[in-house]
Structure 1
Amino acid sequence: MTQTRSRNLVKTVPGLLVSAFFLWYTFRGIHPSEFRALSLVHPVWMLGVLGFTVAGYTLRCVRWTRMLRSTGAHFGPCARVLMTSLAANNIMPLRIGDIMRIFTYASDLGAAPSVIFSTVILEKLLDVFVVGLIFVRTAGADLPLKIRRGADAALIVSSVGLLILMFGAGKLEIPARKLFSALPRNRFIQKAEHWLLLAISTLRQMGVAGNIVLLVQSAAIWFCEGMIFVSAIHLVGLAVDALGPWEAVSFANLSYMLPSSPGAIGPFEWAVKTSLVSHGSTQALSAVFGLAIHAWMLISVTGAGGLIFLIHRIRIHNHTPLLEEIETLPTELP
């Protein structure tokens, strides 16, 4: 157990250093007095921030319930587990929330960990696809021509790949097995094969109609996420063009791919600042806005997920310390 904690610490420290660097880089040269320059100019937009936050995360729960429909899982347990895992991801390192979702709560959902893991893979694929689409469409004009063409090509390739995966899943398993059998056998290749086949299995069970619904739900989820930024920008009266909020929400969420502290603290603020400045806002206000909107996202999601987690533990009379439960989690994904 001590060795596991030591390994986890070694993995966590570099992320904290990355976050510290991005925070310094984002807020360097900004005087503390400028943090007070952000004020509630149009308070009515607070309803938009709150409403789209609730709608977006409710849709996430609905989408995940649909992915697990073949296991007989219902909305209530799925929503509880998903919100708990999102809250844990925001405050704990190494994506502990996703690990808990796959292993700790498998019995609550009546599904095998491997089945849950396949839905987590699919969830990430859909989110990255939609966020990448928004980013390329909103940030393209700010990119050099060669990078813009490369980004467009990558988007086309990823779009075709995802569509083939989603709508041709029933015919992909045998070719995928043949492809991996021709590759060198090592631990990484074996894991990649296992995870891809899990995702294909989930998509095959969903069917074409079900996969179309997942795409529509994913688009709706990220529309709500973008509208949180739009509402917040109107709330504080930030001067940006119409594309600014959408580049900010896409770039900020892509920043989660950078290894950093839980919640992507640092890279998130830098991404929001960079996006808004490129669409007409000032350096100081953009940085402070990035900090404020990130604080809202972390507090609202972590608060809701944490409250749901505590209520459930009290209801089932679970008195085991959370850290002890985490220590019993497997060290590897299925």
Structure 2
Amino acid sequence: MGIIISLVFLTLLVVNVDLSASLRVLTRLDVHHLLIPFILSIFALLCRPWRWQIIFTASARPRYGSCFKVHSISLMSNNLLPIRGGDMLRCFLIAREKPFPGLSVSIASLVLEKLLDGLALLVIVLTTFMFITPPQWLARLAMIAGLIFGSTLFLLICLRILPHRIQTMVQYSVHWIPLKGLKARIVAIFQRFSGGLTGIRSLPQLGALLILTGFTWVTEAAIFWAMAPVLNISLSIPAAFVISAVLGLGLMIPAGPAFIGSYEFFIVSTMGLFGIESEVALALALVLHAWVIVITTGIGFAVMGGSGIQLFHLSSTKYEKHNNSETDIRSN
């Protein structure tokens, strides 16, 4: 499914963009402007694991080093696996790290992370609607994102206010299952998952997460803005914010490995809103995409090598660690 979606986006680009003109734009690549994007990229890669660490409750919070290692491997894996497979891999890997947050709690932390990102990006995109008339595709993207993240936020609020009632509803919904052991396991997994969703328990913790979320997306927008001079393109800071926000929302759509096709499509489409030609926008999208893939893959492999992890270990039972709070990671 992810590969088909990527092929659809690639087809739209090939039909609507003069590829030879984009290649001519690429010939004016100036690598002397890459220092600032490199520094900003490192800041972003250091900030995201820190925010993810804070999402966990204090009793099940992994060390920053563990979060950075797992997050780096996850980003690298997203370049190799379809439909953001690296994100789910991240949950499995961090569940094996001390103090053993558990797979259910790890998945809950991923849900909260995506919720924070989605709401932040949605605010940026909706603010843009005050100044421009959005094209139909962007309005639909914002509507779908609003439904998804609004529903997730509503669920989070319900779990916070009515945890026992939600648990009763889950128990009632699985009462038809004949195996008592399986029924009890489903309820137990839900309890741990809901406990992870309510991991934000104080105003200072929420404030830190909001600040780090803002800093993360300011950095992402700054990378777009700083990368434009590499191709001698003039890009304003507000435009960079909108492009990074739309791209962030667009990449939440399942796609093939490394988001090939969808990455370029959303950048080209959004830059067109600011009067930038499609051929020029595609050239910048290709440079940005290649930059992200090289940085994340390189750091991911370096982290794996430094940790003594090999690719086949990621799916090997030999690498699994048991978790006292989760009876068995594989069974979950």
Do both proteins adopt the same fold according to a TM-score greater than 0.5, normalized to the shorter chain?
yes
User: Unaligned 5+ residue runs, structure 1?
Assistant: 1-13
In the alignment, which residue of structure 2 is the partner of 1:142? 133
Alignment partner of 1:35 out of 20, 23, 36: 23
Whether contact under 8 Å (1:103, 1:113) holds in the other structure is yes
In the alignment, which residue of structure 1 is the partner of 2:280? 285
Q: What's the C-alpha RMSD, in Å, of the aligned pairs?
A: 3.9
Distance (Å, rounded) in 2 between the aligned partners of 1:139 and 1:131: 13
In the alignment, which residue of structure 2 is the partner of 1:3? none
TM-score (norm 1): 0.77
Alignment partner of 1:116 out of 106, 114, 131: 106
In the alignment, which residue of structure 1 is the partner of 2:182? none
In the alignment, which residue of structure 2 is the partner of 1:15? 2
Q: Return closer, same or farther for 1:311/1:18 CA change in 2, 3 Å cut-off.
A: same
Whether contact under 8 Å (2:171, 2:187) holds in the other structure is no
Distance (Å, rounded) in 2 between the aligned partners of 1:149 and 1:24: 20
TM-score (norm 2): 0.77
Match runs of 1:211-230 below 5 Å: 211-230=206-225
Deviation at 1:224, TM superposition (A): 0.7
Secondary structure of 1:108's counterpart equals coil
Aligned AA (1:19): S
Aligned AA (1:255): G
Deviation at 1:226, TM superposition (A): 1.0
Distance (Å, rounded) in 1 between the aligned partners of 2:190 and 2:229: 42
Q: Return closer, same or farther for 1:285/1:100 CA change in 2, 3 Å cut-off.
A: same
Q: Return closer, same or farther for 1:95/1:157 CA change in 2, 3 Å cut-off.
A: closer
Q: Return closer, same or farther for 1:139/1:56 CA change in 2, 3 Å cut-off.
A: farther
* Number of residue pairs matched by the alignment: 312
Deviation at 1:56, TM superposition (A): 1.1
Q: Return closer, same or farther for 1:63/1:320 CA change in 2, 3 Å cut-off.
A: closer
In the alignment, which residue of structure 2 is the partner of 1:257? 252
**How big is each residue's C-alpha offset from its partner over 1:198-237, in whole Å with a ceiling of 9 and x where there is no partner?**
2554434642321221121111111111111111123323
Distance (Å, rounded) in 1 between the aligned partners of 2:110 and 2:148: 22
Secondary structure of 2:316's counterpart equals helix
Whether contact under 8 Å (1:177, 1:193) holds in the other structure is no
Aligned AA (1:52): L
Q: Return closer, same or farther for 1:110/1:205 CA change in 2, 3 Å cut-off.
A: same
Distance (Å, rounded) in 2 between the aligned partners of 1:107 and 1:81: 10
Task: Give the percent of matched residue pairs that are identical in Structure 1 and Structure 2.
Answer: 21
Whether contact under 8 Å (1:19, 1:260) holds in the other structure is yes
In the alignment, which residue of structure 2 is the partner of 1:131? 121
Q: Return closer, same or farther for 1:252/1:152 CA change in 2, 3 Å cut-off.
A: closer
In the alignment, which residue of structure 1 is the partner of 2:270? 275
Whether contact under 8 Å (1:19, 1:265) holds in the other structure is yes
Higher helix share: 1
Alignment partner of 2:73 out of 69, 84, 97: 84
Whether contact under 8 Å (1:118, 1:195) holds in the other structure is no
